[in-house]
Structure 1
Amino acid sequence: MEKFGIEIKWAAIFTLFSCVWAFGEKQLGIHQDFSNIVFSTLALFLAQIILILIFFIDKKKNFFANEATFSQLFKSGLFYTGIITLLSPLAIYIIYQSISPEYFDNLINYQLAKGRFTKESLLETHNIDVKIREGVTYTLSMGVIFSALFATVFKKK
């Protein structure tokens, strides 16, 4: 357990941060009018990259004593990614069922007002099941990419 303590700690922080971010978006009205959703999503993405970066710094310094190889860091990153991936359905459920239960209805109504889609097509793409699948896929793919990137950057020279 101690071997993976840093991964577990930072995965929990990452997941909690995502829920807190969604709460902030809701409080700012972003989940109602979606006018700033692109800016908010980009800012969240950058903040999550910073959290991943801090995880790698913490792991290299406090577990590997600044002597980590690419392989060691990449494996740690993959384990970290795996934990976040396992936690992501829970976070998505909390965000869209507790923090912002009207999110999908608001999004569908917003897009209907734009006149680009039918209600049926929007109902098929904007629901919790699709969001969970997208969240798991996104987390895995981005986790592998950033694990490789940061393992390359932080490996022992």
Structure 2
Amino acid sequence: MKKIYIEIKWAFIYSITLLAWMLLENTLGWHQERIADQWWLTLLFIPFAVFIYLLAVREKRRRVYDRKMTWPQAFLSGAILSVFIALLTPISSYIINNYITPELFFNAMDYSTKNVGMTQSDANEYVLLTTYLWQSPIGALAFGLATAAIVALFVRKK
């Protein structure tokens, strides 16, 4: 248990950082009047996510592997972190969609029908909360594995 404590801790830090980011997005109006730009403005979170992965794997290298870590060890640590983040994603999504920005899906559907040319039924399917709740963990896992592979290149030390 002690060996995966680091990944669990950083998964919670990642989730809290994501919640803070979503609060910032909502505060800046990216979920209301600037909803058209929200999809690319959200990409600004990527450096923070990568930095969290980097800190997590570096801590694992320092505390568990005596400052020496191979690429497979670093990747495995990042992959475990990704799994825990994916497991926490439904909880984060619930908090975001019920407390931080409950109007996000309505605004996205409204924008899609008025500006993108989607029909109401297509917009409902595309922006459906249950679809989002399924896509979020899968997306978090895919992004996390890719990030873990890249971070492992920089963290490995012989």
Normalising by structure 1, what TM-score?
0.92
Which residue of 2 is the match for residue 145 of structure 1?
146
Q: Moved runs in structure 1, 4+ residues, more than 4 A?
A: none
Question: Percent identity at matched positions?
Answer: 29
Distance 1:81 1:115, change over 3 A: closer
Q: Which stretch has the larger CA shift, 31-40 or 48-57?
A: 31-40
Alpha carbons 1:93, 1:128 under 8 Å: kept: no
Q: Which stretch has the larger CA shift, 16-25 or 145-154?
A: 145-154
Which residue of 2 is the match for residue 135 of structure 1?
136
For 2:60 and 2:28, locate their aligned partners in 1 and report how far apart those are by CA, in whole Å: 34
Which residue of 2 is the match for residue 76 of structure 1?
77
Shift of 1:109: 1.0
Which residue of 1 is the match for residue 100 of structure 2?
99
For 2:56 and 2:70, locate their aligned partners in 1 and report how far apart those are by CA, in whole Å: 16
Give per-residue Cα distances to partners, 1:9-59, cap 9 Å, x unaligned: 110000111111111111111111214314421111221111111112222
For 2:49 and 2:69, locate their aligned partners in 1 and report how far apart those are by CA, in whole Å: 23
Return the letter of the residue paired with 1:125: Y
Alpha carbons 2:7, 2:81 under 8 Å: kept: yes
For 1:6 and 1:151, locate their aligned partners in 2 and report how far apart those are by CA, in whole Å: 16
Shift of 1:118: 0.5
1:5 matched to 2:5? The reply is yes
Return the letter of the residue paired with 2:109: I
Secondary structure in 2 matching 1:30: coil
Structure 1, unpaired ranges of 5+? none
Shift of 1:115: 4.7
Structure 2, unpaired ranges of 5+? none
Which residue of 2 is the match for residue 122 of structure 1?
123
Q: May I ask how many residue pairs the two structures share in their alignment?
A: 157
For 2:94 and 2:39, locate their aligned partners in 1 and report how far apart those are by CA, in whole Å: 22
